[in-house]
Amino acid sequence: MRVLGIETSCDETAVAIVEAPAASAPLGNPPGGKILANVVYSQMTEHRRFGGVVPEIAARAHLERLDGLVAEALAEAKLDLAELDGIAATGGPGLIGGVMVGVMTAKAMAFAHDKPFLAVNHLEGHALSVRLTEDVAFPYLLLLVSGGHCQLLTVRGPGDFARLGTTIDDAVGECFDKTAKLLGLGFPGGPAVERAAQGGDADRFQLPRPMWKKPGCDFSFSGLKTAVRQAVEKLSRDDEQAVADLCASFQRTVGDVLVDRCTNALAVAPNDTLVVAGGVAANAYLRGRLEKLGPRFVAPPVKLCTDNGAMIAWAGLERLRLGKTDSLDFRPRPRWPLDVESRT
């Protein structure tokens, strides 16, 4: 089975083609696929001077780039559209203009070539991505940490999630981005903070650890964001050591909170596998902290942590294998929770 996946929900225009056997045992096990093509156009330069993603600019850039990237992916995989078994696109959540560009393009290709169309929840793309490259069976505990989300879930199968906790205010990636912005480290913030933290003294700044040692699996990051801002106001951004120390202290605080929340999640929903996914999962320090928690720890390769087309193609393929296709009147969903019980 070969599925082409399109990702346009934020500032990355991405197209990939993945391949896997058509049949899978009950519960979708074992996993495993092959990436035949994976092309990404990062709009970083378009957005950098604004210090964040500008939705209108993002939508236009997706529109300008997407057709070319589809052609590039097909050429890389040495395939014709007719040789695909399905076309998947991120159907939300995300910036609506970009999601519309991806969904309309995928629908048009599916219609013209009489192929199944798959509307993939972006979060499901992150959630299942680990199964593309690693041998991870359902159910597993997932820490999903990205620019817009911070959640703990039990992943029971495609479209089958039980949410254990979520952030009550900001996402952790957003907190990394804000810290980088305050320190003038550039955009996107996560990799910049991680780089700056190297050689920093994590003991120098005592920052609050929101929700730490509290019951439950919810997160909160707004207090930490405020504390970082107050610390930045007291230091000189030219003081490289102070910047490194603050980044290291911040990163360790985030690590403490994530470890504490995952410990609670493992207590309420015991599991022998902990998976981390989403852009922040690219962070080597945080991976190292989570690795020590106890259960088998698995993370996608760093390249597949941040937004990419392969995770959308893979989630589409997992859905296609179960016959979970979508009709061409699917409407893009700017908000789309993973678990059916929640409304946020």
Site residues (vs Zn ion, CB under 5 A): 146, 307
Binders of ligand KG4 in range 269-288 (CB under 6 A): 278-280, 282-283
What are the backbone angles phi and psi of residue 35, rounded to the nearest 5°? -90, 115
Rounded to a whole number of angstroms, the minimum distance from the CB of residue 145 to ligand KG4 is 8
**For ligand KG4, which is the closer residue by CB, 151 or 154?**
151
User: Distance between CA 104 and CA 248 in Å, rounded?
Assistant: 43
Task: For the chain, report the end-to-end CA distance as a whole number of angstroms.
Answer: 34
Q: Encoding tokens for residue 330? A: 């699917």
Neighbours of 339 (CB within 10 A): 16
147 binding ligand KG4? (CB under 6 A): yes
- Contacted by 318, from ligand KG4, Zn ion, none: CB < 5 to 8 Å by type: none
Q: Are 9 and 122 in contact (CB under 8 A)?
A: yes
Q: Are 148 and 171 in contact (CB under 8 A)?
A: yes
Interface residue with ligand KG4, options 8, 43, 121, 146 (CB under 6 A): 146
Interface residue with ligand KG4, options 92, 189, 200, 300 (CB under 6 A): 189
19 binding ligand KG4? (CB under 6 A): no
Rounded to a whole number of angstroms, the minimum distance from the CB of residue 319 to ligand KG4 is 19
Rounded to a whole number of angstroms, the minimum distance from the CB of residue 25 to ligand KG4 is 29
29, β-bridge pairs: 25
276, β-bridge pairs: 143
- Contacted by 176, from ligand KG4, Zn ion, none: CB < 5 to 8 Å by type: ligand KG4
User: Distance between CA 145 and CA 151 in Å, rounded?
Assistant: 7
Neighbours of 120 (CB within 10 A): 32
CA atoms within 13 A on the CB side of 50: 13
4 binding ligand KG4? (CB under 6 A): no
Interface residue with ligand KG4, options 28, 97, 116, 173 (CB under 6 A): 173
Rounded to a whole number of angstroms, the minimum distance from the CB of residue 56 to ligand KG4 is 18
**For ligand KG4, which is the closer residue by CB, 5 or 147?**
147
# of chain residues touching ligand KG4 (CB under 6 A): 19
Helix or strand or coil: residue 89?
Answer: strand
Rounded to a whole number of angstroms, the minimum distance from the CB of residue 229 to Zn ion is 25
User: Distance between CA 31 and CA 202 in Å, rounded?
Assistant: 39
Q: Which residues sit at the interface with ligand KG4, rule CB under 6 A?
A: 10, 146-148, 173, 176-177, 188-191, 194, 278-280, 282-283, 306-307
